[in-house]
């Protein structure tokens, strides 16, 4: 009995209670709060950086949308190369029809050697447009070859006045006329080899945040009606790109190269329009400045320097 008690004493004496004091708990809690604060701040910074990067990307996408539209329209704002047998229109021919009033309807009796083009217009002077319009707009007249790119519905058809003559298919002095048709099918009087197409007119304009129903500055597109109704009229504008805070257009016939010497920026048969955009942040609460972008829109498919 005595021996058993003696053997248990050392084990009981070596046992100790393990725990933390109040000061230890306070220190640990303080360190945990510090680490949690650092984590939250870092997470907020990462999220803010990612949000700004996404907003900046959104600005670039909007600018790209505008210029993609312009490139597509300008590339078709002329007679197709296959119709001209490699001939370039003279400067007089190129600007003659471009400068016509967009409010003036097509006259089937009017013939000319060149159709299509683009020009800066004063929206306040265009009484045929619906709604209140001010400032500068870009008026574009496109020529879309059939049957590949013109569709099948009604609209304004362009065809050579000599499309019924085989010997005239290669004549570069052909006159072309535009008239409204119920379908874009090949004209019955024309030979199978004769080209024909559709003519479209469109107008790109800007509306400020105060004037737009969206509450932000926008670019808008208006087009002439291509419907069963032969009445020449412009449709209501539709918004194509949001967040374009500013929109400026001017002609740029010459530029300066690196040596500060003037160089010809456009072909002798065309002209160029300088487009300046200010693309705002996608959200008003984003502390990002607007992005300024400048681009030349050049008539024709080739440029020259001289």
Confidence of residue 99 (pLDDT cuts 50, 70, 90): low
Half-sphere exposure of 88 (CA within 13 A, CB side): 11
pLDDT at 213: 77
Instruction: Give a yes or no: residue 244 inside a domain.
Output: yes
* Number of structural domains the chain divides into: 1
Does residue 217 sit within a domain? yes
Distance CA 176, CA 113 (A): 6
**What pLDDT score was predicted for residue 38?**
84
Instruction: Give the best-scoring range by mean pLDDT among 10-24, 78-92, 149-163, 291-305.
Output: 149-163
Q: Span 262-279, mean pLDDT? A: 64
Say yes or no to pLDDT of 79 above 60. yes
Categorize the per-residue pLDDT at 118 as very low, low, confident or very high, splitting at 50, 70 and 90.
confident
Range of the domain at 129: 48-298
Give the pLDDT of residue 200: 92
Tokens of 112: 């000319």
pLDDT at position 283, please? 65
Asked if residue 277 is part of any domain, the answer here is yes
Q: Of 116, 184, 176, which Cα lies nearest the Cα of 148?
A: 184
| Res 65: pLDDT | 87
Q: Is the pLDDT of residue 116 over 70?
A: yes
Residue 15 domain flag = no
Assigned domain for 255 exists: yes
Which whole-number Å values give the CA distances from 95 to 89, 112, 127, in the listed order? 10, 12, 22
pLDDT at 167: 61
Q: Are 155 and 181 in contact (CB under 8 A)?
A: yes
Give me the pLDDT at residue 228, please: 79
On whether residue 116 sits in a domain, the answer given is yes
Give the tens place of pLDDT for each residue, 156-177: 999 988 887 766 554 555 788 9
Residue 4 lies in a domain: no
Contact (Cβ atoms closer than 8 angstroms) between residue 78 and residue 299: yes
Model confidence at 71, pLDDT cuts 50, 70, 90, reads: confident
Q: Which two tokens stand for residue 102?
A: 């967009």
Q: What is the mean pLDDT of residues 109-135?
A: 83
For residue 212, is it within any domain? yes
pLDDT confidence bin for 98, thresholds 50/70/90: very low
What is the H or E stretch that residue 19 is in? none
Residue 120: C-alpha distances to residues 161, 205, 275 (Å):
30, 10, 11
Radius of gyration of the chain (CA): 34
pLDDT tier, 5 (very low <50, low <70, confident <90, very high otherwise): very low
The phi and psi torsions of 276 (rounded to 5 degrees) equal -115, 125
Among 9-18, 78-87, 88-97, 115-124, name the most confident range. 115-124
pTM of the model: 0.73
Residues whose CB is less than 8 angstroms from the CB of residue 296 and which lie 6 or more positions away in sequence, other chains included:
252, 255, 265, 272, 273, 274, 275
Mean model confidence pLDDT for the chain: 76
Pairing of strands 155-160, 218-223: unpaired
pLDDT for 144: 93
pLDDT at 191: 87
**Which whole number is the average pLDDT over 28-47?**
80
């Amino acid at each position: 009995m005595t021996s058993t008690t003696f053997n248990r004493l050392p084990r009981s004496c070596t046992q100790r209670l393990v725990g933390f004091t109040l000061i230890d708990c306070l220190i640990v809690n303080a360190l945990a709060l510090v680490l949690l604060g650092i984590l939250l701040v870092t997470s907020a910074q990462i999220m803010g950086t990612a949000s700004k990067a996404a907003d900046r990307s959104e600005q670039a996408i909007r600018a790209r949308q505008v210029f993609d539209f312009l490139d597509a329209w300008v590339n078709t704002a002329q007679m197709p190369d296959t119709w001209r047998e490699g001939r370039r229109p003279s400067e007089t021919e190129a600007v003659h029809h471009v400068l016509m009033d967009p409010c003036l309807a097509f006259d089937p009796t009017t013939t000319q050697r060149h159709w299509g083009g683009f020009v800066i217009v004063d929206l306040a002077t265009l009484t045929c447009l619906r709604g209140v319009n001010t400032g500068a707009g870009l008026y574009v007249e496109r020529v879309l070859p059939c049957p590949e790119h013109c569709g099948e519905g009604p609209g304004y058809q362009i065809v050579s006045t000599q499309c019924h003559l085989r010997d005239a298919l290669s004549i570069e002095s052909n006159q072309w006329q535009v008239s409204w048709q119920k379908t874009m099918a090949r004209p019955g009087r024309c030979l199978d080899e004769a080209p024909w197409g559709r003519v479209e007119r469109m107008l790109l304009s800007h509306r400020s945040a105060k004037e737009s129903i969206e509450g932000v500055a926008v670019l808008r597109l208006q087009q002439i009606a291509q419907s069963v109704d032969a009445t020449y009229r412009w449709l209501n504008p539709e918004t194509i790109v949001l967040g374009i805070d500013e929109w400026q257009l001017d002609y740029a016939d010459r530029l300066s190269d690196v040596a500060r010497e003037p160089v010809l920026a456009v072909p002798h048969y065309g002209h160029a329009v300088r487009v300046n955009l200010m693309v705002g942040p996608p959200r008003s609460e984003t502390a990002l400045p607007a992005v300024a972008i400048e681009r030349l829109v050049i008539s024709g498919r080739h440029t020259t320097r001289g």
